[in-house]
């Protein structure tokens, strides 16, 4: 997990930083609810639209998402059997 993701995720969880679309930078607000990647559930993979989600996927999130899902399954497996 990168330092950028950790710091941003903690700040967002505490409500101290406004969430933004990771592609275009639009800020979440009353009229815009951001969604996170449904596969890896990473808090920094936020999207304002299906267009931005598709752009992120083509821009490299596809491979990063697969790695994150694999890391999560290894961590969960270690917790259950380790």
Q: What pLDDT score was predicted for residue 31?
A: 93
**66, two tokens:** 């697969």
User: Cα–Cα distance between 69 and 40 in angstroms, integer?
Assistant: 5
**15, two tokens:** 């409500």
Model confidence pTM above 0.75: no
Beta-carbon contacts of 43 under 8 Å, excluding residues fewer than 6 positions away, are 5, 8, 9, 12, 13, 36
Nearest to 5 by CA among 57, 48, 40: 40
pLDDT in tens, 22-60: 999 999 998 999 999 988 888 889 999 999 999 999 999
């Amino acid at each position: 997990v990168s330092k950028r993701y950790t710091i941003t995720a903690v700040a967002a969880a505490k409500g101290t930083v406004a969430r933004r679309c990771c592609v275009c930078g639009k800020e979440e607000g009353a009229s815009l609810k951001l969604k996170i990647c449904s596969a890896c559930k990473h808090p920094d993979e936020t999207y304002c639209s299906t267009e931005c989600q598709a752009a992120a996927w083509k821009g490299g999130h596809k491979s990063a998402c697969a790695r994150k899902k694999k890391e999560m399954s290894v961590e969960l497996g270690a917790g259950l059997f380790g």
